[in-house]
Structure 1
Amino acid sequence: MNNAEKRRLSPKVSLFLLASILVSFVAASTAPTPLYGIYQARWHFSPITTTVVFAIYAVAVLATLLTLGKLSDHVGRRPVLLVAIAVQMISLVIFIFATGVPTLLAARVVQGLAAGAATGAVGAAMLDINRARGTLANSIAPGIGTGTGVLLSALLIQFLPAPTRLVYIVLLVILLIQGVGIVLMPETVTPMKGALQSLRPEIKLPRAVRGPVLIVAPVLFAVWALAGFFSALGPALVRALMYTSIVAGGLAVFVFALFGSITILLLRNAAARTVMLTGVAALILGMIITLVSVTTDSIAGFFVGLAFGGVGFGGGFQGSLKTVMPLVEAHERAGVLSLLYIVCYVGFGLPTVIAGFLVVHAGGLPRTANEYSVAVILLALVALLGLRRASKT
C-alpha cells in the first residue's frame, strides 16, 4: 500500500461523508423556503411565482438525472461528485447576489443541475461501500436535509444579520469542506467504457426490478408530493394559521422531516412491505388530520398531521428503496436510483406548481391545502391497492 492509499478515508468515514453531502444538497434546496416571503415582499411576486421558483429546481434535477444519472457508473463516483459540489457552490453564490426573480430562477436551475448530477452518484457510492447501511443512509439523508435546511435558514433569518445571504455562506463553507473530503475518499467503483453513450437519455430498467418499480412508483410520487407542498408552502400556511414568526414556519417543515427520519431509523430492520404499508397508512391518517385541522384552524392538530405525514414520507420512501435496490446489480445502481428519483422529483415539483396556481385563482392557501390533502389521500389509496395486488401475486 503506497502513501496515497494510506491517506484515503476509511469506508466508515467515507459513508458518513457521502451521507453528509446528500444532506447538504437537500438542505441547500430547501434553505430558500423561509426566504420566499422576504423575496416576495421585496420583488412583489405572487404565490404562483414562488412555486415556480421552487419547482424549476425539480425540472433541472429531472433533466440532469436523465442525462447524467448513469455517468458515475462509467467515470467513477468521485469526479462526478467533485463537479456537482462545484456547481452547487456556484448556485449559492448566485443566491447571495440575487436581485430579482430571474436571478432566483437561475440559481434554482444551477442548483438542480448540481443535485441531479450528485444524486445518483452519491447514492450509488453509499451502496458500493455497504448495501444495508447505504440503503438506510439514502433513505434518511433527504429528510434530515429537508428539515435542517429550512430550520437553519429560519433561525439565521430571525436572529442574525444578512437574512438573504448568511445561510448560503454557511452552506458554501460546508460544501468546501466536503469537497476536500471527496478528494481524500477512495473511488468505490471501477470506471468502464461507454461514458458518452450513457449521456443519452433513456428510461431503462433491468428486468428484475420492473415489477417492483411499478409497485413503488405511486408511493414515491405521493410522499414526495407531500414533501414538496410542505417545503414550498408549509411555512406560509403555518403563518396564516398562527400569525407568528418565520421560525414557526421553518419548524413545521422540520417536524415533518424529523418524524420521517425517526421512522426510517425505527423501521430499518423491518421487511420492505411492512415499512411501505406503515408509511401509506400514516400518510392517509396524517392527511385526514391535516384536513380537519386546517378547516378548524387548529395549529396543534396541524402539527400532529405533519408528524404523521412525516412518518408516511419516511416509511414510503425507505420501503420503496428497500423493495427495489437489493435486486439491482452494482453496475446498474446509479441508473436505477436515478430513475427512482425521477419519480420522486416529478411528484415533488409538478403538484406544487398546481397548488401555487390554486392558491391565487381558486380560493387561497387554506382551501388549497385541503384540496391537496384530499389528492394525497387518493394517491395513497392507489398505492395501497397496488401493494395489496402485489401481495396476492
Structure 2
Amino acid sequence: MTGDRLGWRACLLGGAVFAVCMTGTTLPTPLYPLYQQKFGFSELTVTVVYAVYAFAVIGALLLVGNASDAVGRRPVLLWGLVCAGASAVCFLLATGTAWLYAGRLLSGLSAGLFTGAATAYVMESAPPGRASRATFVATAVNMGGLGCGPLLAGILAEYAPWPLHLPYAVHLTLVACSAAVLLWLPETVGDLRPLRTVRPQRPGVPPHVRAVFGPAATAAFVGFALFGVFTSVSPAFLARYLHVTDHAVSGVVVATAFFASIAGQTAVGRVGVGRSLPLGCAGLLAGLALLAGALHWDTLALVVPSALVGGVGQGLAFRGALAAVGRASPPDQRAAVISSLFVVAYTGISVPVIGVGLLTEPLGLENAGLVFIACMAALVIPAAGYLLRRPVPAEA
C-alpha cells in the first residue's frame, strides 16, 4: 500500500473516530422535552444543562488543549473517548437533573479533548500537499458528527423502545469500536514529551498568527452562537409553538443546520478563504433573519430554511476560519492555536444560550429568541465589514 493511501486511511479513520465523539455531544438535543416531562424542569434548566457542556469544553481546551502537542494525539483522544463513554453511562443511569449535568460535563470534556487534537491529527495524517482536503475532512466530520447526534436520537426516540436509553447504548457501542480503531492508528507527533511538561494555557496565539486569528475567530463566534441557541431551544419551540411533537422531525430540523454547514464548507475551496469568511457572515445574517420570521409568525416553513441558510453560512465561516488559522500556525503549536479558536467558538455557544434561558422566563421563548437574533446581527454586520476591508490572506 502506498504512503498516500496509508495517509488517507489514517486521515479518514481518525475522522470517523472524531465524528463518533461529536455525535455524543448533541445526542440529547431532541430528548430535552422528554427530560422536561420526566424531571419537571424549566426552559432555563435546559439552557444551563446545555451551557455546562460548553463551559466544560472551554475548561478542557484551556487546561489541556495543548497536551497532544507534547504527549501525542492518540493518548489525548483515548481519554476523550473515555469521557464520552462515561457521559453515555450517566445518561443511561439518569434519575434526575444531576445526572444530566454530570453527563453534559463529561461530554464537554470529551469534546474539549478532541477538538484540537483530532483536528490536528486529521490534518497531519493526510499526504503532503493535501492540506485543503484534510481541512475539509476535519471540519466536515466535526459538523457531520454534531448533525448525526440529534438525527440518531430523534429517530430512535420516535420509532424504537426506551427513548431515553437506547440512543446512549448505541453511542456507547460506537465509542468502544472507536477506541479499538484508535489503538490501531499511528501517532503523528514525532517529538513526544512527558505529561508533566504540559501547562495550562491562556487564550492566545503567536504574534505572527494574530492578524489571521482575529477575523477568523469573530466569524467562528457568531456561527457557533447561532448553532448553540438553535440546538438548545429549537426542540422546545417546535413542540410548544408549532405543535411538532415528533422527535424524529425535531432531530431532522436540528441536524439540517449541521449538514448544511458541510455544504457550506465544500464551497470554500471554490471561493477562497478570503471571500468565504464575509460570505459566511452574510449567510449567518440571512439565517438569523429567517429564524426571526419563524419566531415572529410561528411557522415551520421558515424554521427549515433558517437552518439551511444559517448552516451554509456557518460552514463557510467555520472552514475558512479553521483553514486560515491552521495554515498560519507552526506545527508544534497547531493544536494549541486551534484549541484557542475553539475557546472563542464555544464561548459563542455558551454565553448566548444562558442569556436566552434567562430571558425566557420574563419575555417568553419567542421574544428571548428575537433579542438573541438582534444581538447576533449586531455582531455579524460589523464583522462582515471588517473582513471585507481586511480579508484573510491564507487560501483554503
Equivalent residue, structure 1, for 2:22 = 26
TM-score (norm: length of structure 2) = 0.93
Q: In the alignment, which of 78, 103, 106 is matched to residue 102 of structure 2?
A: 106
Equivalent residue, structure 1, for 2:75 = 79
Q: CA deviation at 1:121?
A: 1.1
Aligned CA-pair RMSD:
1.9
Distance 1:78 1:63 in 2: 20
Distance 2:199 2:115 in 1: 15
* Identical positions, percent: 29
Q: CA deviation at 1:125?
A: 0.7
Q: Which amino acid aligns with 2:339?
A: S
Deviations 1:329-350 (A, max 9, x none): 2111110110000011110111
- Distance change >3 Å, CA 392–CA 87, structure 1 → 2: closer
Deviations 1:82-140 (A, max 9, x none): 12112211111111001111111111111211221122111111111222222112222
Residue 242 of structure 1: SS of its match in structure 2? Answer: coil
Q: In the alignment, which of 61, 68, 76 is matched to residue 64 of structure 2?
A: 68
The correspondence of residues 350-365 of structure 1 with structure 2, limited to 5 A, is 350-361=351-362, 363-365=363-365
Distance 1:117 1:294 in 2: 35
Distance 2:334 2:134 in 1: 12
The correspondence of residues 304-383 of structure 1 with structure 2, limited to 5 A, is 304-361=305-362, 363-383=363-383
Equivalent residue, structure 1, for 2:216 = 216
Contact 2:68 2:117 in 1 (8 A): yes
Distance 2:303 2:108 in 1: 30
- Distance change >3 Å, CA 392–CA 179, structure 1 → 2: closer
- Distance change >3 Å, CA 304–CA 204, structure 1 → 2: closer
- Distance change >3 Å, CA 200–CA 296, structure 1 → 2: closer
TM-score (norm: length of structure 1) = 0.94
The correspondence of residues 177-188 of structure 1 with structure 2, limited to 5 A, is 177-188=177-188
Distance 2:199 2:219 in 1: 28
Q: Which segments of structure 1 move beyond 4 Å, counting only runs of 4 or more?
A: none
Q: Which amino acid aligns with 1:31?
A: L
* Alignment partner of 1:136 is 2:136: yes
Equivalent residue, structure 2, for 1:40 = 36
Q: CA deviation at 1:21?
A: 2.1
Equivalent residue, structure 1, for 2:265 = 264
Contact 1:128 1:330 in 2 (8 A): no
Distance 2:141 2:195 in 1: 28
Contact 2:212 2:392 in 1 (8 A): no
Q: CA deviation at 1:313?
A: 0.9
Equivalent residue, structure 2, for 1:161 = 161
- Distance change >3 Å, CA 40–CA 209, structure 1 → 2: same
Deviations 1:342-380 (A, max 9, x none): 01111011110111111122x211112222222221111
Distance 2:332 2:75 in 1: 17
Distance 2:60 2:307 in 1: 31
Residue 269 of structure 2: SS of its match in structure 1? Answer: coil
Contact 2:242 2:299 in 1 (8 A): no
* Alignment partner of 1:229 is 2:229: yes
Q: CA deviation at 1:392?
A: 11
* Alignment partner of 1:190 is 2:198: no
- Distance change >3 Å, CA 309–CA 76, structure 1 → 2: same
Residue 109 of structure 2: SS of its match in structure 1? Answer: helix
Q: Which amino acid aligns with 1:298?
A: T
Gaps of 5+ in 1: none
Distance 1:303 1:90 in 2: 33
Gaps of 5+ in 2: none
* Alignment partner of 1:96 is 2:97: no
Q: CA deviation at 1:301?
A: 1.9
Count of residues in correspondence between the two structures: 386
Q: Which amino acid aligns with 2:93?
A: F
Q: In the alignment, which of 4, 12, 15 is matched to residue 16 of structure 1?
A: 12
Deviations 1:220-270 (A, max 9, x none): 110000000111111221223421222222121111112111111233343
Q: Which amino acid aligns with 1:266?
A: A
Q: Which amino acid aligns with 1:350?
A: V
Q: In the alignment, which of 117, 120, 129 is matched to residue 121 of structure 1?
A: 117
Equivalent residue, structure 1, for 2:388 = 388
Between 1:262-271 and 1:348-357, the stretch displaced more is 262-271
Contact 2:267 2:316 in 1 (8 A): no
